[in-house]
Every structure is written in C-alpha cells, then in structure tokens.
Amino acid sequence: MPAMDCEPARKVIHVDMDAFFASVEQRDDPALRGRPVAVGYPAARGVLAAASYEARRFGVRSALPSVTALRRCPELIFVKPRFDVYRAVSRQVHGIFADYTSLIQPLSLDEAYLDVTENLRGLPTAWATAREIRARILEETGLTASAGVSYNKFLAKLASGHRKPNGQFAVTPGMGAAWVEALPVARFHGVGPVTARKMQALGIETGADLRARSMAFLQQHFGKAAGWYYAIARGEDDRPVDPDRTRKSSGSETTFDRDLAEAAEIEAGVLRMADEVWAWCEGARAFGRTVTVKVKFADFQQVTRSRSYPSAVTRHAQLRQASLDLIRSVFPPEKGIRLVGVTVSTFEAPAHGYAGLPLFGSAVGSAEAQASVLAGAS
Ligand code: TTP
Ligand code: MG
Ligand code: MG
C-alpha cells in the first residue's frame, strides 16, 4: 500500500445503535422486551420506522409498509415514535463520543463517524476506544451499539454492520483491500439496488469483479460515480471525518435500503427527515426561512428543490408540508430514488439565544439554486 507509507493510517470508528427506535421503546416498556416490535403506525399507507431484532426474524424491517409487516408477523406490536426521546438519547451518546475525540461527524440520530487517530483518552488502539465507547453507551443509556473500526469511513461503516447487533469488527490496512474484494458490491455505500443490478448485468457481483474493471470502463458505464467505485473496490476512501461545527443550515438525509419509486415510501422518508430536522430546530431554537429537499437518484444524479418564506418556519406542520410539496415536484420520479434529504437554512435572528451548535444530524449545505443538478458520489 504505497500511498500509506509516509502518513500513518487514520483511525476511524463508525458507531451505529442497534434497532435504535425499537430498542429505546423496549428499554422504556418492559412488556415489549423479547417481542416483535415495530415503531410506526399500522395505517394503510404507513411504513415502519424501525423493527426490533425479534421482528426481523419474520422479515420485518425499516421502510416496510405496515400492512406487509403485519402479514409477515401477525403478533407485531406497533409503537408510536417518540422523537423527543430518541433525540435525547442521541445527545447523550454524542456526549460520550466527545470524551474521546472532537472529530465527530453525525450521520443521523443513531450513527456517527469518529476520527480517533489522536484520541483524547490516550487509549492505545481504536479497537479499545470502540469497546469503551460501546460499554459506556450501554451503561449510560441502557442500549447497545455496534462499531466498525478501520482506516477510512467507507470501511468503518461497512464494518459496523458486520457483527450487528452489539458487536464490533475491525478492518486493518493489511486486510482492507482483500476484505472488500470478497464482499458483494450491493453492500457498498453508493451501490443501491439499481446500480447493483446494472453491475450484475456487466458481470460485477463482488468487490473483486469491480476491482478488475478499468477506470475507463467504469466511466463509460457509471459516469461521475466511476471514481468512487474505482476507489472503494480497493478499500480506499480519503473523505475526512467532517465535524461540521459552524453551520448555516441544519439538514438530515437518508439513503434508502433500496432505490424507491413508490410515492408513499419516498414521502415517508422525506417526512422522517423533516421530523429529524424539526427536532434539531426545536432543540437549538433555530428557525429558518428556507426549506430545501434534496433527491439523489439511482444513478447519483442529484436535484435540490427549495422554497423560501417571508418569515421563519416555526411550526412542525409547516416544515412537513413544505417538504412534501417540494418532493412532489419531482413526482413521478423518472428513475429510482436512493437518497432524500431535508435542510432548513436562512436562520432568523433568534428570539432567545441560538447556540448554533448541532445536536445531531448532518448538514446538507444550503442550496441557493432553486433547482440545481449536480452529480457525484457522496
Ligand atoms: P438504522 O441505523 O438504519 O437502523 P436501526 O438502528 O433500527 O437498526 P440496525 O441495528 O440495523 O442499525 O436506523 C436508525 C433509526 O432510524 C431506526 O431505528 C429508525 C429510523 N429509520 C427510519 O425511521 N426509517 C428507515 O427507513 C430507517 C432505515 C431508519
Ligand atoms: Mg442503527
Ligand atoms: Mg443508523
């Protein structure tokens, strides 16, 4: 690995809570423990936010329509989401992270990247750091988390899913490239189901298959995403852990487990992001005038739609409605949607003190353009 000769490898941890919303509900209601629990509404067009591991044995998982979930698991217990509680846990967990590093990049309420190359506790290894962080999360919140330890974000995130739930896995510089070669490309960040099918049609099923293709070949078939695929096939990812401290916007985004074409499912994803952003707005007492919805399609083409109001959006329902109106402007989607995000920006001068610090979530960045079309893997 010549590129690493002069610089010591970074130490990156990706921490992700196990069955997050469902585990919080089981923690707070002993009657739910050991039982198949879904967080969401059993409504006709509802989709599940989360499923306990007991429910997953029946094939019940996040983003599944409630009706399908009930068919698969008639004993499924539905619990309404309590975002205020999830937000509080998220803040608690973030506080634990902050004892180990200031380089924390939250990705959503339940996960974050930490750069612990230089950790504040002087722990000898990233592995020991991850163990201690997970132990403290359990002790202080009563919840389990899994962790991936590696020398970049791509590998750390792949690794955190490898020993779920309540496990951790390390991918060392010596094993990274070979480890990636053995995995199916469908597991890679940036390869959604549509891309996975396209790759399969080209004879690319594993990391090794992907690695065997030239940059020119990848560019011809995948355009701007080629560079990303070329790099990850070798276990390379030089994106820094970005702590995003000075924010001008608050946003959350989510990559779906599979590319979506159903309006109801896409809208549910957008509303979930609107709810996360709203929780931040309330917590930080920061209300903005501009709402932006970002959409990334299966082929990584990205579109944003914004709307600005004369005064700040100070009601939850208003943010939800604005987000829905904006996502509907891309309906019917001409191709599958892999990611959606909601951002609030153009903050108004605060009425009573705005801390300006993120509690959770990842800034998507403020979008000036009404509709800008970008491309590229992120
Ligand atoms: P995830 O970390 O994707 O899932 P999880 O924590 O429930 O389970 P795992 O052990 O596999 O990590 O998402 C975190 C929370 O975000 C999840 O508990 C609920 C919410 N969420 C949704 O509301 N809808 C979704 O489609 C997904 C994927 C998550
Ligand atoms: Mg999780
Ligand atoms: Mg997560």
69-88 pLDDT, tens per residue?
Answer: 999 999 999 999 898 899 89
**Predicted confidence (pLDDT) at residue 120 exceeds the cutoff of 50:** yes
Q: How many angstroms separate the Cα of 85 from the Cα of each of 10, 50, 190, 237? A: 34, 15, 31, 34
3-state class (DSSP) for residue 329: coil
Of the ranges 1-5, 40-44, 374-378, which one carries the lowest mean pLDDT score? 374-378
Averaged confidence pLDDT in the chain: 87
Q: Please classify residue 35 by burial: count the beta carbons closer than 10 Å to its beta carbon, then call 0-12 exposed, 13-18 middle and 19+ buried.
A: middle
**Predicted confidence (pLDDT) at residue 190 exceeds the cutoff of 90:** no
Query: Given pLDDT bands bounded at 50, 70 and 90, which one contains residue 6?
Result: low
Out of 232, 267, 297, pick the residue that ends a domain. Answer: 232
Which CATH number covers residue 25? 3.40.1170.60
10-34 pLDDT, tens per residue?
Answer: 999 999 999 999 999 999 999 999 9
Do 205 and 296 lie in one domain? The reply is no
In a domain, 240, yes or no: no
In a domain, 156, yes or no: no
Q: Which residue has the tokens 């069955």?
A: 19
In a domain, 109, yes or no: no
For a pocket test of ligand 1, which of 20, 169, 276 has the largest count of ligand atoms closer than 8 A to its C-beta?
Answer: 20
pTM here is 0.71
What is the number of other CB atoms lying within 10 angstroms of the CB of residue 44? 9
Distance 15 CA to ligand 3 centre (A): 8
Pocket of ligand 1 (CB under 6 A): 16-21, 49-50, 62-63, 110-111, 164-165, 272
| Strands 37-39 and 77-79, bridge-based pairing | parallel
List, in sequence order, every residue forming a beta bridge with 253; answer none if it has no partner. Answer: 341
88-119 pLDDT, tens per residue?
Answer: 999 999 999 999 999 999 888 899 999 999 99
Do 218 and 295 lie in one domain? The reply is no
Do 346 and 295 lie in one domain? The reply is yes
How many independent structural domains does the chain possess? 3
Do 216 and 254 lie in one domain? The reply is no
Helix (H) / strand (E) element for 344: namely: strand 337-347
Closest by CA to 130, choosing from 109, 114, 141, is 114
Q: How many angstroms separate the Cα of 127 from the Cα of each of 99, 118, 151? A: 16, 13, 12
Do 308 and 359 lie in one domain? The reply is yes
Residues 6+ apart with CB under 8 A from 226: 215, 218, 219
As a whole number of angstroms, the distance between CA 34 and CA 98 comes to: 32
- Domain range for 335 is 249-375
What is the number of other CB atoms lying within 10 angstroms of the CB of residue 247? 20
53 Cα nearest atom in ligand 1: 10
Do 225 and 283 lie in one domain? The reply is no
Out of 190, 206, 232, pick the residue that ends a domain. Answer: 232
Do 219 and 336 lie in one domain? The reply is no
Which tokens in the block code for residue 316? 């939850």
Do 201 and 261 lie in one domain? The reply is no
Which CATH number covers residue 219? 1.10.150.20
Query: Given pLDDT bands bounded at 50, 70 and 90, which one contains residue 367?
Result: very low
3-state class (DSSP) for residue 32: helix
In a domain, 57, yes or no: yes
Out of 45, 60, 82, pick the residue that ends a domain. Answer: 82
Ligand nearest to the CA of 111: 3
Nearest residue by C-alpha to atom 24 in ligand 1: 49
Residue 13 near residue 149, CB atoms below 8 Å: yes
As a whole number of angstroms, the distance between CA 65 and CA 73 comes to: 12
Residues 6+ apart with CB under 8 A from 186: 193, 196
| 236 in active site | no
For a pocket test of ligand 1, which of 47, 56, 62, 85 has the largest count of ligand atoms closer than 8 A to its C-beta?
Answer: 62
Alpha helices by DSSP H, the chain: 20-28, 53-56, 66-72, 83-98, 126-141, 153-160, 176-182, 193-201, 207-211, 215-222, 226-232, 263-284, 316-328
